[in-house]
Amino acid sequence: MNNKAAILIATLALAAATPALAARQPLKVTEHIDISAPPAKVWEAVRDFGNLAWHPAVGSTTLDKGTKDKRGAVRTITTKDGAKLVEELLSHQDSTRSLKYRIIDSPLPVSDYVSTLKVKAAKGGSRVEWSSTFKRKDEKPAEGADNVGAKKAVAGIYTSGLGALKQQLEAK
């Protein structure tokens, strides 16, 4: 085989693999909000892994396994529209005001989802950062469930939750 043929075959193989490789690439979403409240007060509002009452989409949260601030705790979130998400706590650090969790089961168009929620001191109060890495769920996604759709769904959850948290804490 001559060099031109080898290059052509390699190029075609790479082109054919590119969509599949792109589907497996991790996606990242990070949202944050500044809240006019001390970090300790903000952390107190979000630190309980078994209670997401501050998020406007959440109807209820039940702790199915473990303790609310210990690694391995499992919670089921039922949204106000009836969807269920099952999540596991990976770490909980009062000293750094952060918690990390993963989704075990969810109707969201994502897989391999790991998220971190952090509260930091900021000028005038606190900054809450909610971030995650994940992959889209399906190799051949339905319309709206592609990489852009998956990121948009996650970002929407974060911004609505963070906005509600700000409103609740600044009203007190």
Rounded to 5 degrees, φ, ψ at 107 are -80, -5
Tally of CA atoms within 13 A in the half-sphere of 128 that contains its CB: 27
CA distance 130 to 120: 11
Q: Assign a CATH topology to domain 26-171.
A: Alpha-D-Glucose-1,6-Bisphosphate; Chain A, domain 4 (3.30.530)
Q: Domain segments of the chain: what residues?
A: 26-171
Q: For a pLDDT cut of 90, what percent of the chain falls above it?
A: 73
* pLDDT score for 9: 54
* pLDDT score for 25: 84
> If pLDDT is split at 50, 70 and 90, which confidence band does 145 have?
confident
Token pair of 54 as six digits:
């501050």
* pLDDT score for 160: 97
Task: Give me the DSSP letters along 63-90.
Answer: EEES-TTSTT-EEEEEETTS-EEEEEEE
- Condensed to tens digits (0 to 9), the pLDDT of residues 18-49 reads 454 454 589 999 999 999 999 999 999 999 99
pTM of the complete model: 0.83
Q: Hey, CA dihedral for 68, 69, 72, 75, is it positive or negative?
A: positive
* pLDDT score for 149: 86
3-state secondary structure of 101: strand
Token pair of 28 as six digits:
């990242």
Q: Is the pLDDT of residue 108 over 60?
A: yes
